[in-house]
Amino acid sequence: MLEQKFGFDLGIATLAAGMVFAGGEGLRAAVKYPSAARGDLVDVYHGQRIADPYRWLEDPDSPETKVWVAAENQVTFKYLKSIPKRPAIQKRLTELWNYERYGVPFKQGGRYFLSKNDGLQNQSVLYTLSSLEASPSVLLDPNKLSSDGTVALTSYQVSDDGRLLAYGISRSGSDWQEWRVRDVQTAQDLSDSLQWVKFSGVSWTKDGKGFFYSRYDEPSESDKLRKSNYYHKLYYHRVGEPQSKDSLVYDRPDKKEWMFDGSVSEDGRYLIITIRQGTDPRNRVYYSDLTAPGAAVTPLLDDYDASYDFIESEGARFWFLTDYKASKRRVIEVDVARPARENWKELVRESPETLSAAAVVNGEFIGTYLKDARSVVRRYRLDGSLIGDVRLPGIGSASGFGGKKADAETFFSFTSFTVPGAIHRLDLKTGRSEVFREPKVGFNSEAYETHQVFYSSKDGTRVPMFLTHKKGLKRNGNLPTYLYGYGGFNISLTPSFSPALLAWMEMGGVFAVANLRGGGEYGEEWHKAGTKERKQNVFDDFIAAAEWLIANRYTKPSKLAIEGRSNGGLLVGACMNQRPDLFAAALPGVGVMDMLRFHKFTIGWAWVSDYGSSDNPDEFKALAAYSPLHNLKQGASYPATLITTADHDDRVVPGHSFKYAAALQHAHRGKRPVLIRIDTKAGHGAGKPTAKVIEEWADKLAFLTHELRMK
């Protein structure tokens, strides 16, 4: 590796200060980008030299990076605020967002718990109720934890007796969490404070005296947002004691990539330790008998050959949701006293639909399936015999269905592209469900429609896509169309509600969601078809979706915009590199843009199971062929681009977007703008305050209306 030499100009922030932006078409010719020094650093990968001129932008705290960030934001926000339609868009977004939103309730210790947002609250508030008819009382209001709403409630668990609440908070969108304990009766915190928790929930012991959780060793201040996260450790915390006295339950100094999740069975007898290696769906399962003091941690499923998600247990019989010999997943029983494979029992067999979740409530299995990326819910007896389907309100997404084995009721949320999440209570004795809470939004859902189409990708694979728009919209080949995709990590894109997309459709836009390979819509085979050396299939699927929309006279390239976030940001970057002629505008959000170095930061190493690694010669070849940062063509004309990232993103570090923006601005020779919007006191997206969400959407929609020349 050669030494990098920089010639920084610390005065570049002043370049944007005197810029004058005209409204309308004048904006197109007004953008002048801050200069970014190009270093001469070169890496050698398997004999191939790869330049990395913007390596210095990987350090978000350096003076040079801070100057560049300030200059880029000055250019971007002046541009966006000068778009004439933006104030009206933000006003309408604020109106649409101002509706009550509810989380799925659950019952613990004879009390109910649920979250609610009154509309424009930055964070949802956690409430408790003595009965479903009782008035809710505030248990925890995260809005009081900061003046600007940037402290978010990330997760929480209530002790078995309903007396104590353990809850995690995140600051400025970071993945790092602090866990605290609150008395449910008084709504006051106890002395407990657990630091450096990441990628972990908690699980209480049956006696309510403490809980299991996982954490990393404390990083240095300079490393906490960038350094790779290795050596996860599972601890037990006893309420009232300092974290320094927590008991180390399990760790593996010889396996730095192993990540631990400890959960206690409903009867309190077993600690089940799920062991993962990053985002690979395969995992291991160990257990410990909590009724036997000093009991060892015992491997149960240790072959790392499939995914095994613990559902619940009956004595020594453990129930798992697994894709072992079942790509679309099934439910099996493993007896810890007779754990050999020949003794396993199949309880719920594999279906033509993908079994995405399973729970045990009312002494039965409730399975949530995906049928062409929309929800189907079925009930089974514990022997696997079918009871029947749960009737859903329509085509959409259902989630929830939690509870205990003896509970006779459960709750679920149902949503679609035009219906906000209504909460339903399902009586499992009668089979009848009723609306428990239903939000009211200031728009007429009957004026919109959703339908599903199927198209052929480059290799002939049949891919589904949802289309939502105003009823009666005429296909004239000129409709502004917003195409969204993800395609990775076994994650399924199902119908969901967004006030921002309502605003888009009110303006005459079409919203399209393509269910690409790499996701989980059709099981593990569908996922694997979009990983590693087969990642190009995902880009082919997305490009084919755009071509279908054009061929079927919904839109044309000058009216077509694409967006994706995180892995979807990678998708957008790769596709606009490969087909810049196909799109008028692109919104790559918090994207993985440097595919040769992604594994060197925070949790990036965990994505190697999906992407592969540049350390592997064959995988390097595939990565280098599509890496958004490394496939920009000097002098090419790219779509109008608004890159979004955040200064506290410690999932996909902002250096990805910083380097990509600098490289794209350097390569681009078209008249369309290439901008980067860098949010402050924000992270990868989770827990972002409502005010910040509305601001970002106002910017994105204003950008699209201008670049697609919408009336």
Rg (CA), the chain: 26
Burial of 66 (C-beta count, 10 Å sphere; 0-12/13-18/19+):
middle
Q: Hey, which bits of 647-699 come out as E strands?
A: 674-679
171 neighbors 151 (Cβ within 8 angstroms): yes
- Classify 640 as helix, strand or coil: strand
Among the options 649, 650, 679, 699, which is catalytic?
649
173 neighbors 680 (Cβ within 8 angstroms): no
Q: Is the dihedral of CA 504, 509, 515, 517 positive or negative?
A: negative
- Classify 537 as helix, strand or coil: helix
Q: Is 247 a catalytic residue?
A: no
Q: Which residues pair with 589 in a beta bridge?
A: 565, 644
319 neighbors 312 (Cβ within 8 angstroms): yes
Please state the separation of Cα 8 from the chain's center in Å.
36
Report how far residue 499's alpha carbon sits from residue 420's, in angstroms, rounded to the nearest whole number: 9
673 token code pair: 């703008």
Q: Is 193 a catalytic residue?
A: no
The one-character DSSP state at 136 is P
Angle at which helices 63-81 and 655-667 pack, to 10 degrees? 70
Nearest to 392 by CA among 408, 410, 409, 413: 413
Single-letter amino acid, residue 456: S
35 neighbors 12 (Cβ within 8 angstroms): yes
711 token code pair: 């009336």
Report how far residue 577's alpha carbon sits from residue 573's, in angstroms, rounded to the nearest whole number: 6
Q: Is 43 a catalytic residue?
A: no
Single-letter amino acid, residue 299: P
340 token code pair: 């050999």
How far apart, in Å, are the Cα atoms of 306 and each of 142, 613, 665?
38, 21, 44
Report how far residue 557's alpha carbon sits from residue 543's, in angstroms, rounded to the nearest whole number: 12
Report how far residue 551's alpha carbon sits from residue 295's, in angstroms, rounded to the nearest whole number: 64
How far apart, in Å, are the Cα atoms of 85 and each of 88, 543, 672, 710?
6, 30, 18, 10
H or E stretch covering 524: helix 524-528
Among the options 170, 307, 416, 566, which is catalytic?
566
H or E stretch covering 44: strand 42-45
The C-alpha torsion from 651 through 595 and 483 to 661, rounded to 10°, is 80
Give me the sheet containing 409-415, strands edge to edge: 397-400, 409-415, 422-427, 433-437
How far apart, in Å, are the Cα atoms of 14 and each of 7, 11, 21, 39?
17, 6, 16, 22
Single-letter amino acid, residue 252: R
Report how far residue 651's alpha carbon sits from residue 199's, in angstroms, rounded to the nearest whole number: 11
Among the options 237, 668, 684, 706, which is catalytic?
684
User: How many residues does the structure list for the chain?
Assistant: 711
- Per-residue HEC secondary structure of 323-358 comes to CCCCCCCEEEEEECCECCHHHCEEEECCCCCEEEEE
| Active-site amino acid positions | 566, 649, 684
